[in-house]
Chains A and B, each alone.
Chain A
Amino acid sequence: VQLEQSGAEVKKPGATVKISCKASGHSISDFYIHWVLQAPGKGLEWMGRVDPEEGETKYAEKFQGRVIITADTSIDTVSMELNSLRFEDTAVYYCARSRWLLEGPFDDWGQGTLVTVYS
């Protein structure tokens, strides 16, 4: 399974960014799709995930209310929208997949999307 993410984004503080993650080689309905961020020079942080088959989402408490993860099974694409952007949201954002009904491990990852928050 290959996960292809959309390109880099530059946003101003307070704006909203939407990143997409398209699966090839398999239907996304067979997986959970997760989003993980990595700030420059830092470690990995789980943001949330979607069950594309059921539409159910789960979010980390830190991002609750600011992030929305959606899935469109007709085009095997998951999107992650983060609003009210702050400078500290500057990071590489990865999508990753786990097997359906399992919260991990993350078998495959997208290539990452750099989001820069800059005034």
Chain B
Amino acid sequence: EIVLTQSPGTLSLSPGERATLSCRASQSVTSRSLAWYQQKPGQAPRLLIYGASSRATGIPDRFSGSGSGTDFTLTISRLEPEDFAVYYCQQYGSSPSTFGQGTKLEIK
């Protein structure tokens, strides 16, 4: 199975700053089948990005995804207070679908 490694484990930033989250795969991800989710405490994950770079419905344009092959990035251009949460990447191009271990984005 494809192992996804996210870095950093924790990212401490202030509102208004730019956040860059990384997701590295142990093998090439088929057809850019890479998604990013946001999860807040006590809530289900929410889809942000799919196909490595397409924003899901209703997701603000400060969220963007990029990458291909084994290296992917989620960028939040200007952090809003509601963006502080845990972020997971997922690959769904190869079975089984797998998730990264998550990056916690916390307020500095």
Contacts and interface: CB of A to CB of B under 8 A. Distances in A.
A61 interface: yes
For the residues of A in contact with B, the DSSP-based class is: loop
Taking residues whose C-beta sits less than 8 angstroms from the other chain, chain B's interface range is 20 to 34
B56 interface: yes
B105 interface: no
16 contacts: A34-B97, A43-B88, A44-B45, A44-B90, A46-B96, A61-B96, A94-B45, A96-B44, A96-B45, A103-B93, A105-B50, A106-B37, A106-B47, A106-B90, A109-B44, A112-B44
B95 A105 contact: no
- Determine the interface band of chain A, counting residues with CB < 8 A from chain B: 20 to 34
Interface in B44-90: 44-47, 50-51, 56, 88, 90
B97 A103 contact: yes
